[in-house]
């Protein structure tokens, strides 16, 4: 599956993972992000938890932490 991740400081990464779905945490780690420095993750105006499932073709927007990380 492939997911597009919009990064907090601009830019994006396309992440490919095996299978038809993955949890948010695995997608962010595959994108090379340090999840301890991630604020909210948003999909279609909805804030996701790290355990929510993501499917092929979805776009995730990663926001910086409120405290600046």
What digits encode the pLDDT tens for the residues 8-64?
A: 889 999 999 999 999 999 999 999 999 999 999 999 999 999 999 999 999 999 999
Task: In whole angstroms, give the CA distance from residue 35 to residue 22.
Answer: 15
Token pair belonging to 52: 């929510």
The structural domain count of the chain equals: 1
Among residues 19, 30, 35, 17, the alpha carbon closest in space to that of 62 is found at 35
Q: Give me the pLDDT at residue 68, please.
A: 64
* Prediction pTM value: 0.91
39 within domain boundaries: yes
Return the pLDDT at 30. Answer: 97
Which domain CATH number covers 55? 3.10.20.90
Percent helix, strand, coil in the chain (nearest 5)? 15, 40, 50
Residue 27 resides in a domain: yes
Report yes or no on 52 lying in a domain.
Answer: yes
Q: Which domain holds residue 51?
A: 2-62
């Amino acid at each position: 599956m492939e997911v597009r991740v919009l990064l907090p400081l601009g830019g994006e990464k396309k992440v490919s993972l095996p299978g038809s779905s993955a949890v948010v945490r695995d997608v962010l780690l595959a994108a090379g992000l340090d999840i301890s420095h991630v604020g909210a993750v948003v999909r279609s105006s909805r804030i996701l938890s790290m355990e929510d499932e993501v499917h092929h073709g979805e776009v995730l927007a990663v926001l910086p932490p409120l405290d600046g990380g």
